[in-house]
Amino acid sequence: MAGTKNPSKAPTPRARFVGVPATASSTLPSLPSAVTSWLPALSAAAPFSLSNFYHAVEIQTLNPEYNSSTILRADILVNEDLEDQEQAKQSVIEMESYDCVRRIRRKLQPKQTRDGSMEQECLFYRTAGSEEDAEDAEGLVLLLPDFELLQRDNGGVVPYYHPQLAALAFRYLPPPPSTSTDSEPPSASIQLDVLALPSSPLPTPLPLDHRIYRTALALLKSLHSVACGLDEGYQKRVHHDLLAGKEEVQDLYHVLKEKYRADLVPLHEPRITFPRWMLHEWKESTDPQKHLWEDVAVTAWLIVVWKHMYPETEGKPPGGFVDLGCGNGLLTYLLHSEGYPGYGLDLRARKSWASYNPSPTLLTTSLDPPTLLSSPEPPFPAGSFLIGNHADELTPWLPLFAAKTPNSAFLNIPCCPHTHVDRFTSKEYKIPPEFLDSLPSPPADPSPASPSSTHHPLLLPFYAPTSSNGGRMHAYQLYLAHLTLICGFIPEREALRMPSTKNIGQLGRKRVWDALDGKEREVAIRRVQEEVERMVKSAKEGWKARKPEGKAGEH
């Protein structure tokens, strides 16, 4: 679990997970119409509270992909607290001696869409009549596949990506009463009980090499790790899906992935898929499949963001896109193939450019940002969306290009840190308070600051805090955010779901003066113009325009 430790809580040593075969210390009530009985599979000591047990199970329930490489996500259909037990009795399974306090219904979506989805009830129980913080309260979470839907849609077969079980029960068992002979007070424990399918009985006890036991071991170990992290005060650091919906992007990504995996020439023998074609025809020294799936992910994210940014033009930037420092041109090719007008620019032509069909517009040029920005003409067509996907030394210039291009916006995905004239080497960076004061408050904050925090809430959900101590890339993110603010844009950052360690995108689409009127707005616009001119003038002495290499100047 990616997170940062809560400074207000003293660090404690992480308890080692030791899973042992469970014994039926307290038997679970049978489920209605259940053919088989509960089988205790595995247990372990629980050096954390019942509330953190619930929180850890919730995290894993909402994010099943954390524990399975074959699951894409869970679509949450219902998520409700059930404080009214009369309401609970009408909507959930009653368990003797337990009150149901929460219900989540989810639809598991596999990575391979042909494998089909599965709906599941996730029911949270507590000892009847007890409070969550009661020392003797027992917690229980049931995971129940919807077999009626499975029977209708899949012949009653449980999909392979889910354990072949009729139900699972995660349990939090309070410590037994201590005695005078105990050298240490007994601790609470967690336990996983399973309910076998009628067609697949389980041996009692489960052998340690049995597949269900190994699955139970992995699930309980993961739950133990997350709950211990919560108990130690860890907080989520990397927040995804803040600027585009997870479901929308993932669904489009898989559509595009299947499309570009499909045959390019169906009648050709042997059949050639896009990745195989890239493997054989790719002319660069880099890994073609790495580039393909990275750029398919960026393409999917951009298309979803553009759909909401440009509803009047059917989700297409009015001035087209400009892929600055496009390199192998694959992102330009993918966007062009999906019907988005635009072009890519790079210092030199790449061998791969000639292989693309349909052929996108890929141009060679040696950009000189200070000269380009000193011209009275806009550097790019009005309404352009500028893309800097690992654009190296052009990365810090994108906010300035966007500031000088009417009605434009941009996405920066930085890789190698650069300033306007040199390498960025600092390991710390702090955005001046006056720029933070100019930021509007966000409508909602998934990770609110403490009252004493000096961080602006708009920057909290992102990878880099406002005052970094996480190394050069943290500091560089803040440097780019500061540049973005100077150029009049509100920096919005996203941890993109792409197979790359350099996956933090910074989006500039909203202006800092959008909420201002009259003279205040005019002053803000004039200040940005003056700041951009100042930065351009300052960089003229140090910037050295690179020249096209090899035969690039002939294209």
Give me the DSSP letters along 475-540: HHHHHHHHHHHHTTEEEEEEE--SSSS--EEEEEEEETTTT--HHHHHHHHHHHHHHHHHHHHHHH
pLDDT for res 89: 66
Higher pLDDT, 261 or 212: 212
pLDDT surpassing 80 at residue 17 = yes
How many residues belong to the chain? 555
Dist. CA 401–CA 405, nearest whole Å = 6
pLDDT for res 506: 94
Average the pLDDT over 97-110 and give the result.
93
For the stretch 19-50, pLDDT in tens is 888 876 678 988 887 888 899 999 999 999 99
Indicate the SS3 state at residue 89. helix
Higher pLDDT, 345 or 547: 345
pLDDT for res 417: 94
pLDDT for res 553: 37
Higher pLDDT, 30 or 528: 528
Encode burial over 146-169: b for 16+ CB neighbours within 10 A, e otherwise: ebeebeeeeeeebbebbbbbbbbb
Average the pLDDT over 239-247 and give the result.
88
Average the pLDDT over 257-285 and give the result.
60
For the stretch 289-331, pLDDT in tens is 677 889 999 999 999 999 999 999 999 999 999 999 999 899 9
Average the pLDDT over 229-239 and give the result.
80
Name the nearest CA neighbour of 28 among 115, 141, 155. 141
Name the nearest CA neighbour of 403 among 426, 444, 372. 372
pLDDT for res 450: 37
Higher pLDDT, 55 or 289: 55
Extract the tokens encoding 94. 């009653």
Structural domains of the chain sorted by starting position, each given as residue range(s) with its CATH number in brackets: 3-236 (3.30.530), 246-554 (no CATH)
pLDDT surpassing 80 at residue 468 = no
Confidence band for 154, pLDDT divided at 50, 70 and 90 = confident
Handedness of CA 45, 49, 50, 52 (dihedral sign): negative
Higher pLDDT, 56 or 449: 56
Name the nearest CA neighbour of 505 among 406, 415, 372, 403. 415
Name the nearest CA neighbour of 29 among 149, 135, 145, 167. 167
Q: What percent of the chain has pLDDT over 90?
A: 55
Write out the DSSP string of 11-36.
--PPPPP--EE---SSPPPPPTT-SS
Extract the tokens encoding 71. 């699951």
pLDDT surpassing 60 at residue 554 = no
Q: Which residue has the tokens 């994108």?
A: 398
Q: What is the mean pLDDT of the chain?
A: 85
pLDDT surpassing 90 at residue 63 = yes
At 93, phi and psi to the nearest 5? -80, 130
pLDDT surpassing 90 at residue 212 = yes
Higher pLDDT, 452 or 150: 150
pLDDT for res 548: 56
Name the nearest CA neighbour of 344 among 306, 390, 279, 376. 390
Contact (Cβ atoms closer than 8 angstroms) between residue 220 and residue 171: no
Confidence band for 399, pLDDT divided at 50, 70 and 90 = very high
Count of C-beta atoms within a 10 Å radius of residue 192: 24
Contact (Cβ atoms closer than 8 angstroms) between residue 144 and residue 124: no
Q: Which amino acid is at 188?
A: A
What DSSP character marks residue 346?
E
Between the CA of residue 526 and those of 48, 180, 256, what are the distances in Å? 56, 78, 43
Least confident of 201-210, 347-356, 389-398, 481-490: 347-356
For the stretch 177-206, pLDDT in tens is 776 666 677 789 999 999 999 989 999 889
In the chain, % helix, strand, coil (3-state, to 5) comes to 35, 20, 45
pLDDT for res 269: 47
Higher pLDDT, 86 or 345: 345
Average the pLDDT over 154-172 and give the result.
93
Confidence band for 240, pLDDT divided at 50, 70 and 90 = confident
Dist. CA 364–CA 254, nearest whole Å = 32
Q: Which residue has the tokens 């920066």?
A: 412
Higher pLDDT, 510 or 184: 510
Least confident of 170-179, 224-233, 316-325: 170-179
Average the pLDDT over 63-92 and give the result.
85
pLDDT surpassing 90 at residue 283 = no
Q: Rounded to 5 degrees, what angle do the CA atoms 393, 376, 310 make? A: 70
Contact (Cβ atoms closer than 8 angstroms) between residue 403 and residue 487: yes
The secondary element (H helix, E strand) that includes residue 127 is strand 118-127
Q: Which amino acid is at 32?
A: P
Dist. CA 168–CA 214, nearest whole Å = 14
The secondary element (H helix, E strand) that includes residue 95 is none
